[in-house]
Structure 1
Amino acid sequence: MEASGHSTGTPSNGVHTIYILDQSRQVGSATPETIAEALTYLHRDGVLVLENAIEVEHLDRLRELLQPEADEIAQDPTHHFNFGRHTRNMDQAPPTILDLMFEDVWANRIAVSVLQSLLGPDLMCHYANGNTSLKAEGRQPVHSDIDKPHPLYPFAYGINIPLSDMNVENGSTELWPGSHRESNIDQHITVTDDEYGLAIKPAIVERRRHISPPVQPTVRKGSLIIRDIRLWHAGTPNRTDTPRIMLAFVIQPKWFQAPSKVTLPLKSKALLDSWKANSGLEYAAQWVDGDVDHKKVNSDDVDFSTGNSKLLELEPLMHPAPRFISSL
């Protein structure tokens, strides 16, 4: 064990977990040793769990508000369901009520320090939403969260925060460790001649299944999951009567110039400025007067692709040699 955390188990085809000690969680710091361990497994697997990284009381307060709202949101015929309503997997964003905007949820300092070591010091959060799995039998296709040409190196990470223990029974996300290392847009299905979908071509998925099958980790409340945006994953059925709520944030380097913005009330700006002072994380905010109805937030137009003109010129280098497209 070292000053900020220790490993709690790392099966070769599972999700590596680092336990964050109470003192480290309370001060929001990670030692160089923890960062080294986190980066090593994020490079290998594309996903990592930081256990005990968030105050459980904060998650309980959020769940107290969001869980009763889940059924209400699901009844809205215009609300966004991921891969169709039959999956019962829908957007459910965190509230932007100041008293419920907890720093260890919205700008977790330990997670930010890990991502700064990967992506550089100037980080932007381009997405603040959530993923709720309602009781269902349907599931999502295997996919990644970007459907445009993208670099073959890390450029975005998702932070997933379950508000309760998450397991196979209540719809723990299916993850494909290592798939990020050869993930590229040519593996995606094509919707039209010039448009890609999020889903991975089924034949490629089946080839990888024989080499490195997916996992569904058990994740304890108080944990956060760091996931490379390129990693293959899929929503799975929640077989319980209780909605499984998992918040989601996406962080990218400022130089990447991703277009997506987070709609936030202007009255929260001072709070977000304090987070930036504490950790360096900035929000790509669309400020509005008055309140923001979190129940209406959806991911229909989210876009994690680059707006950097030089990187757009380099798009041909985002397509690997043909042998890598189907080698998984």
Structure 2
Amino acid sequence: MEASGHSTGTPSNGVHTIHISDQARQAGCATLLNTIEATQHLSIDGVLVLENVIEVEHLDRLRELLQPTAEEIAQDDTHDSDFEKHPRIMDQALPTMLDFMFEDVWSNRIAVSILQSLAGPNLRCHYANANASLKAGGRQLVRNDFDKPHPVNSFAFIINIPLSDMDEENGSPELWPGSHRDSFIQQHVTLPNDEWGFAIKPALVEQRRNISPPVQPTVRKGSLIIRDIHLWHAGMPNRSDTPRTMLAFVIQPTWIHAPSKVTLPLETKALVDGWKVNSGLEYAVHWVDGDADHEEVDSDDVEYSTGNSKWPLLESLMRPTPESISSL
């Protein structure tokens, strides 16, 4: 390991990993080598792990708050699940009390600086949530997080932050490196109402498995995962007795004008405004008086699409559909 924090992913991890040095983490700035390596692997693989970028104490405090309520939430049949119920992966809102809104979690400067190198300097987060994976035997279908025609460029990135060490035993997600480079809406299943679903057609999943199989990375606490929104992935069963909580933030260039907003208490506005000064990351926020209940959340209305009126006019320029896809 070089002092700069430059490293390569290990075969056992399955996803390219860059260890960020303590010096770079404390400075809140990725080195030039970190940035070059990260942008190359995000472009090629569509996914990357940044290691040693978050204070472990911050993650421990969040886990101590969220973990006890995970089983309680799972027993509520009205509570929203993440895509499918049988893997027992439940939505769980982030706490929005000032003492729990850590900058290295909500607006990690190293991650933001790398995304700015790929997507431009003006970035906005319009989705902040968590999911709790409880002990179960089922898994999710392979999916893509965008159920509309996809632009060719990488127009959105998801930052996932596990609150504990994460591996196959406790439900590390299945990731399909490189799938983002060949992703378009006709790969998705169609629903009874003729709309597109999130799941990928099973025949295509098996085709890709034969040439580029998925991985389940081992991710250390204090790390974060960056993935392109086009990337195929699936929630996997947590075989342990301990809930595994993972945070999720969706970040896009501001020109996308995505309509979704993060609900935050008005008392946190100065803090959130300070993040923009420090890292350049802006939050799309619906401000409310009083507290926002961190045990209540519904992801059904989250919109990854755009409020940009020009976008639909460009649909014909989006990824062409190979003739072979239409018959699958």
- TM-score, normalised to structure 2, is 0.96
Instruction: Give the equivalent residue in structure 1 for 2:33.
Output: 33
Task: Please give the secondary structure, in 1, of the residue aligned with 2:263.
Answer: strand
- 3-state SS, counterpart of residue 222 of structure 1: coil
- What residue identity is the alignment partner of 2:114? V
Query: Once the two structures are superposed, what CA deviation does each residue of 1:205-236 show, in whole Å capped at 9, x if it has no partner?
Result: 00000000000000000000001011000000
Q: Is the 8 A contact 2:13 2:219 kept in 1?
A: no
Unaligned runs of 5+ in 2: none
The whole-number CA distance in structure 2 between the counterparts of 1:309 and 1:33 is: 38
1:280 maps to 280
| Structure-2 separation of matches of 1:55 and 1:325 | 45
- Determine whether 1:161 maps to 2:141: no
Measure, in 1, the Cα distance between the counterparts of 2:301 and 2:194.
Answer: 18
Asked if the contact 2:13/2:218 (under 8 Å) is kept, the reply is no
Offset, 1:174: 0.2
2:58 counterpart of 1:58? yes
Between the aligned partners of 2:274 and 2:2, the Cα distance in structure 1 is: 29
Asked whether the 8 Å contact 1:265–1:288 carries over to 2, the reply is: yes
| Correspondence for 2:180 | 180
Q: Which amino acid aligns with 2:63?
A: R
Per the alignment, residue 238 of structure 2 pairs with: 238
Q: Supply the AA of the counterpart residue of 1:164.
A: S
Give the match's secondary structure for 1:303.
Answer: coil
Matches within 5 A, 1:279-318: 279-318=279-318
Secondary structure of 1:85's partner?
A: coil
Q: How big is the shift at 1:30? A: 0.6
Q: Hey, what's the Cα distance between the residues in 2 that align with 1:40 and 1:324? A: 30
Question: 1:102: which partner in 2?
Answer: 102
Q: How does 1:253-272 map to 2 (within 5 A)?
A: 253-272=253-272
Partner of 1:42: 42
Relative to the length of structure 1, the TM-score reads: 0.96
Distance 1:241 1:299 in 2: 26
Query: In the alignment, what sits opposite 1:229?
Result: 229
C-alpha distance in 1, partners of 2:242/2:110? 30
CA deviation string 1:85-132 (max 9, x = no partner): 222011112200100100000000000000001111110001100121
Q: Which runs of 4+ in 1 moved over 6 A?
A: none
Q: Percent identity?
A: 73
Distance in 1 separating the partners of 2:318 and 2:178: 18
The 1:52/1:12 distance shift into structure 2, 3 A limit, reads closer
- Once the two structures are superposed, residues 13-39 of structure 1 have per-residue CA deviations (whole angstroms, 9 ceiling, x without a partner) of 921000011111112111121111000
> Please, which moves more after superposition, 78-87 or 10-19?
10-19
Given the alignment of the two structures, is residue 191 of structure 1 paired with residue 217 of structure 2, yes or no? no
- What is the RMSD of the two structures over their aligned residues, measured on CA atoms? 1.8
Change over 3 Å in CA distance of 1:319–1:172 after alignment to 2: same
Structure 1: stretches of 5+ with no match in the other structure = none
